[in-house]
Amino acid sequence: MSNFDSENQESFLYVDIGNSSIKIGFQSSDKWTVHTHETAMEAAKEIKNHIYPVKQIFVCSVREGMKDALEGKIETKNLKEVTIADIPSDKLDYETPETLGIDRYLACLGAYSESEKGVVVIDAGSACTIDYMDSNGVFFGGVIVPGFKSIMNIFKESAPELPDIKVGIPKVFPGKSTTESLQWGQVGFFVDGVISILESYDEKFEDYELYLTGGDAPVLYDLLGHVGEVNPWLVLMGLKKIAQ
């Protein structure tokens, strides 16, 4: 057991700064407690009011300047930002690591920490990433597609006369109404794209376990027929793994 493991885990905070929210989490007895905020001010308030003495804060961010804004508000030097530069080069099979979002790597690492196999992680957020990490913990890259909400809102400006639709895929193909046609073209299009990408992973790589994370993960999980495992804290779990 490392010194890190033997210390009070509640004193270590993990902060995932995404495109639309800031998640703050800590682990106690293998259980994660996570709160989500929209602004750095809200996040800083939670950190300042943390019920345990904060020993160290580990941060990953995909938003320029947000880490500095948060650090300025909490007025502490016990903050470490994890970036791609912290990842050993032999763990990245990726041609442009300088452009790789750290959240993509950390989500795979979080899933990998739970699995003895390779993993594919679907992070269904503002963008939807589908990435692969092998059984040796090497990140192989993946696919970036528009997020589910982007697909659903695609006609709001370009064709506002089209009706809103509910999330679902009609039982009969092709669509027999404008609403059904839109469901096939938006919901069905998105799901079929994800399935096609997973089939490509099936053909190219070894056996893997599938994980879903991100704000739209529960919706996608239902649409895929309950395939894979939903875990909303994969990025935070990856941060913890790096910290150890």
Cβ atoms 107, 235 nearer than 8 A:
yes
Q: How far apart, in whole angstroms, are the C-alpha atoms of residue 62 and residue 124?
A: 15
Regarding whether 192 and 168 lie in a shared domain, the answer is yes
Pair (188, 72) in one structural domain: no
Average pLDDT over residues 74-89: 87
Q: What pLDDT sits at residue 19?
A: 83
Residues 139 and 32: their CA atoms lie apart, in Å, by 25
- Residue spans of alpha helices (H) in the chain: 3-6, 40-48, 66-74, 102-112, 148-152, 155-158, 178-183, 189-204, 217-223, 234-243
Q: Which domain holds residue 129?
A: 86-233
Q: Are residue 220 and residue 128 in the same domain, yes or no?
A: yes
What's the pLDDT score for residue 7? 60
Query: How many domains is the chain built from?
Result: 2
Give percent of the chain with pLDDT exceeding 90.
71
Residues 12 and 95 in one domain: no
Asked if 19 and 60 sit in the same domain, the reply is yes
Tell me: do 65 and 177 sit in the same domain.
no
Residue 89's DSSP bridge partners are none
Q: Which of 89-93, 137-141, 155-159, 212-216 has the lowest mean pLDDT?
A: 155-159
Distance (Å, whole) CA 145 – CA 173: 24
Q: Output the pLDDT for position 1.
A: 39
- What pLDDT was estimated at residue 77? 66
Is 117 inside any structural domain?
yes
pLDDT band at residue 220 using 50, 70 and 90 as cut-offs = very high
Asked if residue 196 has pLDDT above 80, the reply is yes
**Whether residue 94 sits in one domain with residue 23:** no
Predicted pLDDT of residue 157: 83
Residue whose entry in the numeric block shows the structure tokens 């659903």: 152
Q: Which of 24, 50, 81 is the last residue of a domain?
A: 81
- Domain containing 229 — which CATH number? 3.30.420.40
Are both 121 and 225 inside the same structural domain?
yes
What residues are annotated to the active site? 103
In a shared domain, residues 127 and 198? yes
Assigned domain for 224 exists:
yes
Residue 111 has pLDDT above 70, yes or no: yes
Average pLDDT over every residue of 21-35: 90
Question: Is 238 within a domain?
Answer: no
Residue 243 lies in a domain: no
Both 180 and 217 in a single domain? yes
